[in-house]
Structure 1
Amino acid sequence: MSRLQVILASTRPGRVGLPVFNWFVERAERHSAFEAVDGVDLAELGLPFMDEPNHPRLRRYEHQHTKDWSARVEAADAFVFVTPEYNHSYSAPLKNAIDFLHNEWAYKPVGFASYGGIAAGTRALQALKPVVAALRMTPVVEAVNIPFVGQFIDEDEQFRPNDVLDQAAEAMLSELSRVESALRPLRTPASATTSA
């Protein structure tokens, strides 16, 4: 059993991403592959703009907010980024949250739930893929892409997916679980594998 972290990339007041995020966290909690789901709203996390003096690969963090973020990401085995598309890319708060850390992301799979207009946020995914690859993360092919996201949000600000989106979420969660299992040995310290 693995632990999934779902990260909401938008921090904008009035964001439509919050209902999408809430739906996806609930959907992931119902998936049998994950023993725990940690939902991270970057607006609530409130990381400042990168303020660590040392390179994150050294893990010599000086600020408590970074140490707390490090521990939270380290505890996760897989990730889903719930992201809008801003100007053919993804949000600055997500880039900042990613860049605060380095080794904590390595050898873990990541999926994407994107939303937007006609392009369904897919250009944000294309911008994210080289960034996560540089951190040794593995993006899965399966994704949840939500076009014209407003049509799926009701008057109570609840996200109401259709069957296609629900099936896409199921496929992505299942693939994240498969890839996480395959990558797990790479996250095991060498001393643990040689001392057996």
Structure 2
Amino acid sequence: MAALSPRDAAAVLASAIPPPKKAANLLDPFSLKRVLDDTTSEVVLERGYVENVKLSNLKMSIGVITCAIALAAQFYPKKFPENKTFLIGCIILYVIFNVILQYVNLTKEKQYILFTHPFPGSFSGTGLAISSKLPRSSDMYTLRIESADSQHILALPPVELTKSVTKWFTKDGVLAEDIFWDDVESLLDTYENESRKSK
């Protein structure tokens, strides 16, 4: 097999390095929060936690049912007004399932960005629930780690980190990933140390 030229080797190396994470607009808190939230999830999963997708699956199931209701109403073989009763039923069901979805969002999902199962091999009976906040008129990002089941007997006290996003983003909107990664890992260490103290 022929050796790669220096130019080809450099191209292969460059393609193997992922591009830096960047916020589309530094003035848009949703853009900044999305980058930070996604990176937080990467750090936690890289640590060995396994994502609990039960809530996501529930929301997807409700969404699929809602879409099926809309499709049934659209393609029902009879024409209006013969299908009037069927359409009224579909509208009522569509509203009910949308209300259920909003209820799940408001009461279960809240500001959480990630739920996990208990750490593999640990004796903890609860995983993590990770949430974040970045108010519209503030540069202060708050990351919170707590037990996924706060009522569980082994639930630990939550830990929080609040810092200005200016500590993690350059003026071009590029995330200083190594700094943010270290901060998230330190917060995880603090939470896991609480777990060891409780034993």
Q: TM-score, structure 1 length as denominator?
A: 0.36
Which is richer in helix?
Answer: 2
The TM-score with structure 2 as length reference comes to 0.36
More strand by share: 1
